[in-house]
Amino acid sequence: MKTINQLGTAERERYIWRDDELRKMRRIATALLGLMAVLFIIGIQLERNVHHHWAFLVAFAEAGMVGGLADWFAVTALFRHPLGIPIPHTAIIPTNKERLGRTLASFLRSNFLRTGIVARKVRTMDVAGAMGRFLSQPSGGEGRMRMGASRLMGDIIAALDDERLGGIAKSAVRTQLEKLDVAPLLGQLLGAMIKERRHLPLMDGLISWAAKTLEANEPMIRQMVEERAGTIMRWTGLDDRLANAIVTGLEKMLADMAADPDHPLRAKGEEGLQKLVRDLKSDKELQARVANWKAELLANPAMNKWIEGLWDQGRTALLKAARNPDAALSGSFGAALTKLGSTLQDDASLKRQINRFARRAIVGTTENYGENIVSLVSDTIGGWDASTITDRVENAVGSDLQFIRINGTLVGGLAGLVIHTVAIWI
C-alpha cells in the first residue's frame, strides 16, 4: 500500500491537485447548504412580518435544504458513516472493497482483456508510425520525450525496492559471469583484432613497455652478470663487456622491432597470437585453465566488491539522467533518436515488421497474462485498508460528487418552489 509520500512525483502532484479541488468543491456545496438555511430563517421572518408572498422563498430554501442534506448523506455514505453513526448500508466502498475489486477485475477481463477484443483493436494500430512521429518531431516531440521519459524514469527508479532489486541484479550478474565460457570468447575477440590489424597498437605498446623496463632494470642486469661471472672474467673486466653487450643487444633488438613492422620477431609474435587464438577456441586443457582463472577471479573479494557496486553505480547514473533529461536525451543520442524516428516512418518494411511484432506481443500478453492482470487488480484493491481505498476513490471522483450535492440543493429548491406554486393554485 502506498501513502501519498510513496507516490511518484507526477502522481503525487496530480493527487494533491485533485485533493485541493475536492476540498474547494466540498466547501462550495456546504456553503450553499448553509445559504439555504439562512434563506429559510430570513424567509420565515419576512413571511410573518412583511408579506405572505415570502412563503415562496421559504418553500425554495426548505426544499433546497432537504435536497442538499439528502445528497450530502448519499455522497458521504459512499465513503464513510455519516456523522460517524454506523447506519446500515453506509461506508459502502470501504465495506465492500473486496467485492469491488473482484467486480472491477471481472469487468476488465470481460470487456477489455479478451483476446478477440484486443486482436481487433490492435489490428489497426500503427505502433511503428506513432513511435516514428513521436521521435522525429524536433519541436513538440523532443520536449515531450524529454519530460515524459525523465518523469517516468524518475518515478520508476524511485519506486523500486533498492535492496531487493539490487540483490537480484548483483546475483544475475554473478550468475551470468559464472555461466560465461570465457576462453572461446577471448579467442574470437583476439582473432577479430588480428584480422582487422587492431592488435598492432597492442604489440607496439608491449615493445615500448619492454624497452622502458629494460632501461629501468639495467643496473640489476649488470649485477646479475657480475654475480654469475667467474673470477677470471671479473679480473679481466670481461663481465662489464658481457653486460654491455647484453644490454646493448636487447636495446637494439627492441628499437628494430619498434621501427620495423615486418621484423622477424614481430612475425613470430603474430604466429604465437594465432596459435593462442586456435588454442582458446579448441584446446580443452587451456579452456579449463582459463575457466579456473575466471573462478579464482570471481572468488576474489575485490571482484565481489566490484559486482556489489554495479547496482549502486547504475542506479545513481539512471537517477542523474532522469533528473537532467536535457543531458540524457540531447546531443548525439537525441540526434540518433530523431533519425530513428524518420527511419520508422520511411522504411515500410521495418514499419511492417515492428507493427507485426507489437500486435503479436500485445495479443500474446493478453492471452498469457490476462488472468494475472485481473488477479493483480482484485488483490491490490483487496489489500488496501479502508482509509486508503476511501482516499483513493474520493480523490478520483470526489469533486464530481460534490456537484451532485450542489445540483441536489438547487434542483430541490426549484422543486419546492414548483410544488408550493401548484399547491396555491389548487
- Please give the Cα distance from 242 to 268 (Å, whole number): 27
- Check residue 197 and report its DSSP letter: T
- Please give the Cα distance from 362 to 356 (Å, whole number): 10
Per-residue confidence (pLDDT) for residue 2, from 0 to 100:
46
How many H helices and E strands in the chain? 20, 0
CB 370 within 8 A of CB 47: no
- Please give the Cα distance from 237 to 83 (Å, whole number): 114
Which grid coordinates are listed for 323? 533528473
Per-residue confidence (pLDDT) for residue 232, from 0 to 100:
52
Start-to-end CA span in the chain (Å): 60
- Please give the Cα distance from 278 to 275 (Å, whole number): 5
Other beta carbons less than 10 A from residue 327's beta carbon: 12
- Please give the Cα distance from 176 to 294 (Å, whole number): 12
* pTM of the full structure: 0.43
Ranges of residues in the chain whose predicted pLDDT is under 70:
1-11, 135-170, 225-240, 311, 314-315, 317-337
Per-residue confidence (pLDDT) for residue 372, from 0 to 100:
73
Per-residue confidence (pLDDT) for residue 279, from 0 to 100:
87
- Please give the Cα distance from 57 to 155 (Å, whole number): 55
| Biggest CA pair distance of the chain | 149
Q: In degrees, to the nearest 5, what angle opens at C-alpha 302 toward C-alphas 296 and 305?
A: 120
CB 280 within 8 A of CB 186: yes
Other beta carbons less than 10 A from residue 96's beta carbon: 13
Per-residue confidence (pLDDT) for residue 1, from 0 to 100:
41
